[in-house]
C-alpha cells in the first residue's frame, strides 16, 4: 500500500523558482514585484487612512501613525544625532516600514492561495534583489550624507583615528551593504523555509511556534536594518568635537 | 515516508538551483535597480503622505503642550502670589481686629472702673450725709432730753424746798 503524499496547496516547497517578466531585454522577478505592490498598497492605504484628517486630539489610526512616527524619530535621532536626523528621517522610516510590512506580510498573508505559473509569492525581502537594492541605497545615502555635510573632509573619516585604519574602513564600505542585505535576506528566507518545511511535514499546530518566532524575527530584522542604516548615516555625518 | 522523499528532492533542487541556468536563490537581475527605484519613490510618497503631516501634527502638539504648560505654570505662580497677598491681608485684618478688641476691652474696663468709683463716692457721700443728719438729730434729741431733765430737776427742787 503506497501512502498518498499529503500535499496541501499551501505546503509546497519551491526554492529559487522565479516568475520572470520580460521588460525589453531586461528580466525581472514578477512575484517580487507583485507582492511588493501588495505591501506598498497596504502601507499607503494605512497611511492615507490615518493621515486623512489630522487632529490635535488624535483618534483611530492617527494614534498608530503618530506612535510609528515618534518611534522612528527616536530611532533616527539616537543613531544620526540631533543635527542631521531630520533630513534622513523619511528614508530610515521608509526602510523600517517597508521591510517590516514586507516581512509580516510574507508571514501573515496567505500568498499560497494564488497560483503563479512559476515561482510563488512571499515576502519581497526573501528575494536577494530587494535586500541588495535597499542595502545599496543605504550605502549611497551614507556617502551622500557624509559628502554633502562635510565635503571632501568626509574622507578624513577613513584615516581616523590613525591611517592604519584606512584598509579596514575601505573594506567596511563593502561589508556594510553585504552584511545588511544578506542578514535580512537570509533571515527572512530561512524563516519562510522553516515554516514551509514544517508545514510540509506536519501541516497542523507544529509550524505555529516557528511562525510566531518568524514574526518576532521579522520585526527584529526590520528594526536592525533601519537602525544600522541610521547608524551608518550617523557615522558619516558625525562631526568630531575638538 | 513519501513526504521525506519529497523534502529530500526539494533540498536537492535547492542545492542544484545555482547550477541551473534559470532561477536560483542568488539570481540578481533587473529586479534590483527597479526595486531600488521603487523604494526611493516610496520614500518620497511616504514623506509627503506620512512623515511630513504626522511630524507636523506631533510637533505642533508638542509645542502646544509646552506653551500650555508654561502658561499654566505662570498662572499657578500668579495664583500663588495672589494667595500669599490675600493671606497677608487676612493676617493684617486679624491683627487689626485683635487690637480693636483689646482697645474696646480696655475702654469698657476703664468705664466700668469710673462708674464704680463714682457710685462708691456717691454711696459714701450719701452715707456721710445720713450719718450727719442722724448725729444732728441725736444731738437735738439729747439737748431736748437734757432740757427736760433740767426742768424736771428744778421742779423737784422747787417742790421740796418750800416744804
Mean pLDDT, residues A101-122 taken together: 83
Bridge-partner residues for A26, per DSSP?
A23
What are the chain B neighbours of A51 within 8 Å (beta carbons)?
Answer: 49-50, 53-54
Report how far Cα A101 is from the mean position of its chain's Cα atoms: 8
What confidence tier does A21 reach under pLDDT thresholds 50, 70, 90?
confident
The number of beta carbons lying within 10 Å of the beta carbon of residue A195 is 19
ipTM: 0.84
CA distance B74 to chain A (A): 23
Min mean pLDDT across A55-69, A109-123, A138-152, B112-126 is at: A109-123
Window B:91-130, CB contacts with A under 8 Å:
none
Mutate which of B9, B15, B51, B58 to test chain A, going by most A C-beta atoms within 10 A? B51
Residue B43 in contact with partner chain A when CB distance is under 8 A? yes
| pLDDT at residue A242 is higher than 70 | no
Closest alpha carbon to A73 in B6, B54, B155: B54
- CB–CB contact B54 A66 (8 Å): yes
CA distance B19 to chain A (A): 11
Option in A93, A95, A133 nearest B32 (CB): A133
Which percentage of chain A shows pLDDT scores above 90?
39
The number of beta carbons lying within 10 Å of the beta carbon of residue A122 is 23
Q: How many residues does chain A have?
A: 242
For A187, the grid coordinates are 533571515
Mean pLDDT, residues A128-137 taken together: 92
Residue of B nearest to A127 (CA): B25
CA distance B29 to chain A (A): 6
Which positions of chain B have pLDDT values less than 50?
Answer: 1-21
Cβ pair A39, A124 in contact under 8 A:
yes
Residue carrying C-alpha cell 501613525? A65
CA distance B84 to chain A (A): 36
For A147-201, the pLDDT digits (tens) are: 998 888 888 888 877 888 899 989 999 999 999 999 999 999 898 888 888 888 8
What are the chain B neighbours of A47 within 8 Å (beta carbons)?
Answer: 46, 49-50
Count of CB pairs separated by less than 8 Å, A with B: 150
For A68, the grid coordinates are 510609528
Q: Mean pLDDT, chain A, as a whole number? A: 85
What local confidence, expressed as pLDDT, does residue B120 receive?
A: 95
Q: Which of A4-8, A14-18, B99-103 holds the top average pLDDT? A: B99-103
CA distance A152 to chain B (A): 25
Mutate which of A69, A77, A120 to test chain B, going by most B C-beta atoms within 10 A? A69
Amino acid at each position: 500500500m503506497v501512502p498518498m503524499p499529503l500535499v496541501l496547496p499551501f505546503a509546497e516547497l519551491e526554492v529559487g523558482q522565479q516568475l520572470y517578466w520580460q521588460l525589453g531585454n531586461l528580466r525581472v522577478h514578477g512575484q517580487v514585484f507583485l507582492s511588493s505592490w501588495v505591501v506598498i498598497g497596504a502601507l499607503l492605504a494605512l497611511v492615507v487612512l490615518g493621515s486623512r484628517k489630522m487632529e490635535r486630539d488624535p483618534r483611530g489610526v492617527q494614534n498608530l501613525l503618530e506612535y510609528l512616527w515618534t518611534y522612528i524619530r527616536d530611532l533616527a535621532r539616537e543613531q544620526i544625532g540631533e543635527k542631521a536626523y531630520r533630513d534622513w528621517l523619511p528614508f530610515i522610516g521608509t526602510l523600517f516600514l517597508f521591510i517590516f510590512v514586507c516581512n509580516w506580510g510574507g508571514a501573515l498573508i496567505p500568498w499560497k492561495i494564488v497560483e503563479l505559473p512559476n515561482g510563488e509569492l512571499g515576502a519581497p525581502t526573501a528575494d536577494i534583489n530587494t535586500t541588495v537594492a535597499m542595502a545599496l541605497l543605504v550605502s549611497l545615502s551614507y556617502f551622500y550624507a557624509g559628502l554633502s555635510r562635510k565635503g571632501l573632509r568626509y574622507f578624513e573619516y577613513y584615516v581616523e583615528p590613525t591611517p592604519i585604519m584606512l584598509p579596514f574602513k575601505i573594506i567596511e564600505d563593502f561589508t556594510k551593504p553585504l552584511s545588511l542585505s544578506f542578514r535580512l535576506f537570509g533571515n527572512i528566507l530561512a524563516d519562510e523555509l522553516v515554516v514551509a518545511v514544517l508545514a510540509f511535514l506536519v501541516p497542523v499546530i507544529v509550524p505555529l511556534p516557528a511562525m510566531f518566532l518568524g514574526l518576532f524575527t521579522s520585526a527584529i530584522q526590520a528594526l536592525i536594518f533601519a537602525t544600522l542604516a541610521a547608524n551608518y548615516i550617523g557615522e558619516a555625518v558625525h562631526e568630531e568635537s575638538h | 515516508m513519501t513526504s521525506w522523499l519529497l523534502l529530500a528532492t526539494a533540498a536537492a533542487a535547492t542545492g542544484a538551483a545555482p547550477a541551473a541556468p534559470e532561477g536560483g536563490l542568488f539570481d540578481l537581475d533587473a529586479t534590483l535597480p527597479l526595486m531600488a527605484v521603487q523604494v526611493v519613490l516610496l520614500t518620497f510618497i511616504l514623506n509627503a503622505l506620512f512623515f511630513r503631516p504626522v511630524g507636523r501634527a506631533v510637533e505642533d502638539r508638542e509645542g502646544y503642550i509646552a506653551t500650555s504648560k508654561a502658561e499654566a505654570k505662570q498662572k499657578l505662580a500668579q495664583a500663588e502670589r495672589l494667595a500669599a497677598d490675600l493671606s497677608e491681608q487676612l493676617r493684617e485684618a486679624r491683627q487689626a481686629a485683635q487690637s480693636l478688641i483689646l482697645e474696646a476691652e480696655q475702654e469698657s474696663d476703664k468705664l466700668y472702673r469710673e462708674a464704680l468709683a463714682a457710685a462708691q463716692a456717691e454711696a459714701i457721700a450719701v452715707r456721710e450725709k445720713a450719718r450727719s443728719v442722724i448725729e444732728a438729730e441725736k444731738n437735738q434729741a439729747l439737748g431736748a432730753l437734757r432740757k427736760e431733765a433740767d426742768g424736771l430737776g428744778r421742779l423737784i427742787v422747787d417742790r421740796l424746798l418750800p416744804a
